[in-house]
Copies of this chain bind each other. A is one copy, B any other.
């Protein structure tokens, strides 16, 4: 398990534009590295679905579990810990009669919205491309 940051360079923000504008294709590392950093946090099939479920108002363990098709307790438990370690999810325990636990998104998780939006949009279009324009039935 490595929450690593690939490489040592920190391109100020021009790496990509510079690369595209000049047609200089020597350095694609400036684009690849940050993308890989992002993928390292987001990877696996469960992390984004979990974030989405929580953002939709599902705070409790069983509630999240119920709303993500095919996920198991074990996987959910592990992924929530990962997400907490990455400061994307906060776990709060309330000392009520049956102790209850709530998972909420941190403000930092909100910065992932553009990523989720882009994936949602692309995924929606991709689905149409694959199943044809009349397919509305989820095949999972």
Task: Give how many copies assemble into the complex.
Answer: 2
CB-CB < 8 A to A40: which residues of B? 45
Q: Which residue of B lies closest to A124 (CB)?
A: B34
A133: CB under 8 A from chain B? no
Whether A35 contacts B49 in the complex (CB less than 8 A), given A111-B125, A127-B10, comes out as yes
Residues of A in contact (CB 8 Å), total 80
CB-CB < 8 A to A74: which residues of B? none
Q: Classify the secondary structure of A's interface with B.
A: helix
Whether A48 contacts B39 in the complex (CB less than 8 A), given A112-B122, A125-B111, comes out as yes
Tell whether, in the assembled complex, residue A4 and residue B126 are in contact, meaning their CB atoms are under 8 Å apart.
no
Tell whether, in the assembled complex, residue B29 and residue A67 are in contact, meaning their CB atoms are under 8 Å apart.
yes
A28–chain B nearest beta-carbon distance, Å: 4
A69–chain B nearest beta-carbon distance, Å: 7
CB-CB < 8 A to A128: which residues of B? 10
Tell whether, in the assembled complex, residue A62 and residue B15 are in contact, meaning their CB atoms are under 8 Å apart.
yes
Tell whether, in the assembled complex, residue A57 and residue B22 are in contact, meaning their CB atoms are under 8 Å apart.
yes
Q: How far is the CA of A56 from the CA of B29 in the complex (A)?
A: 10
CB-CB < 8 A to A100: which residues of B? 5
7 contacts between A and B (CB under 8 A): A11-B124, A15-B60, A16-B120, A19-B63, A28-B55, A34-B123, A34-B126
